[in-house]
Amino acid sequence: MIQEVAPSLYRVQIPLPNSPLKYLNSYFILGGERNLIVDTGLNRDECLEAMQQGIQELGVDLERTDFFITHMHADHFALTSRVISPSSRIFFNRPEAELIEAGFHWEPMIAYGGLNGFPRHELEAALQAHPGFKHGSEWVPHLSLIQDGQPLSVGDYNFICRITPGHTLGHTCLWEAERGILIAGDHILGDITPNIQCWRDGFDPLAMYLDSLDQTATLDIRLALPGHRGLIPDCAARIAQLKEHHHDRLREIGEILAAAPLDAYQTAARMSWDIKCDSWQEFPVAQKWFATGEAMAHLRYLENKGELRVDEESGRRVYHPAS
């Protein structure tokens, strides 16, 4: 589906087969001298066909088209190398470019999951099912690195790059103040909540995300264009809902751990999830991956707030109430 959401700004739906997300919203901004495409899809033929159809129907000349990738997740990044032209610039954030340059490896995530109680055989199965593993980028093109506050003009649109860490380390939105339009990527979604995960030590993604939401709430947003699902006409109300959701999650985890000390995997198994399964055992292994990652992010936040303490027992981390 192709929809004009603002003058010369189109949403092109890129299918994500077998994903609860259903599709990626790729945004095409048509300018005079240069065009801009925001996010591309997974590296799979279904995504490429939808992208090529959008390019053809909108009459986009790829030789005059640049790309802006909101973050490194495969459903936003991986198709880029298959659609760019030799003259395309690919705008991307520095923190995640440095992760890519360092060489991303899945094994440390598996080891970290094991430390937090995730059975290794399930983790390896989750990896095999993970779209980032199955449909990742063939190669990484040269990236034009952007900074927070950097202007990016396309036709009549004068965007400002706003780095909004949380969903990923360097997630970046595009803000157009005159029109009140925010191209939000996965920073703000409408009828689902962005997944905030923690798969390594040394940072607090939920604290980053809540701070990013507070910063975004200062903008006079009249229309938010998310990376998935429907457009968001009342972004301020949605930000308030997302903050309430995470604070509810934090209270829920506090109540769970008040009953017994648990690792992150056990905590996730006792949390409430909007998924049609009668028990944790019935969860698809990929959903266990996302759920445990989100539990770890909330546990890290509570640990850093001094509300939980962590002990290592038999090679796994177990969380207790601090008092």
Three-state SS for 65? strand
Amino acid (one-letter) located at 306: G
**pLDDT tens, N- to C-terminus, the chain (323 residues):** 899 999 999 999 999 988 888 999 999 999 989 999 999 999 999 999 999 999 999 999 999 999 999 999 999 999 999 999 999 999 999 999 998 887 666 678 888 999 999 988 887 777 766 666 666 676 688 999 999 999 999 999 999 999 999 999 999 999 999 999 999 999 999 999 999 999 999 999 999 999 999 999 999 999 999 999 999 999 999 999 999 999 999 999 999 999 999 999 999 999 999 888 888 999 988 889 899 999 999 999 999 999 999 999 888 999 999 97
Put the strands of the sheet holding 2-6 in their side by side order. Answer: 2-6, 9-15, 23-29, 35-38, 65-68, 90-93, 144-146
Centre a 10 Å sphere on the Cβ of residue 322 and count the other Cβ atoms it contains: 11
User: What is the chain's Cα-based Rg?
Assistant: 20
Angle at which helices 107-115 and 120-129 cross, to 10°: 140
CA dihedral 143, 145, 150, 153 (to 10 degrees): -10
Fold for domain 2-305? Metallo-beta-lactamase; Chain A (3.60.15)
Q: Which residues pair with 176 in a beta bridge?
A: 181
Q: Is 159 exposed, middle or buried (0-12, 13-18, 19+ CB in 10 A)?
A: buried
* CB of 172 closer than 8 Å to CB of 164: yes
What was the pLDDT predicted at 156? 96
What was the pLDDT predicted at 309? 95
Alpha-carbon distance of 319 to 323, in angstroms, equals: 12
What was the pLDDT predicted at 285? 84
What was the pLDDT predicted at 120? 82
User: Could you give the C-alpha distances from 11 to 37, 118, 136, 263, in angstroms and in order?
Assistant: 10, 38, 23, 42
User: Could you give the C-alpha distances from 7 to 34, 186, 195, in angstroms and in order?
Assistant: 16, 23, 31
Closest CA to 147 of 159, 162, 135, 133: 162
Read off the tokens for 249. 């999650």
* CB of 169 closer than 8 Å to CB of 95: yes
Which helix or strand (DSSP H or E) is residue 171 part of?
Answer: none
Closest CA to 186 of 148, 220, 229: 229
Chain center to CA of 151 = 22
Q: Which residues of 32-68 are buried (b: 16+ CB within 10 A; e: fewer)?
A: eebbbbbbbbbbbeebbebbeebbeebebebeebbbb
Centre a 10 Å sphere on the Cβ of residue 171 and count the other Cβ atoms it contains: 28
* CB of 114 closer than 8 Å to CB of 125: no
Amino acid (one-letter) located at 79: L
Q: What angle do CA 10, 188, 15 make, to 5 degrees?
A: 50
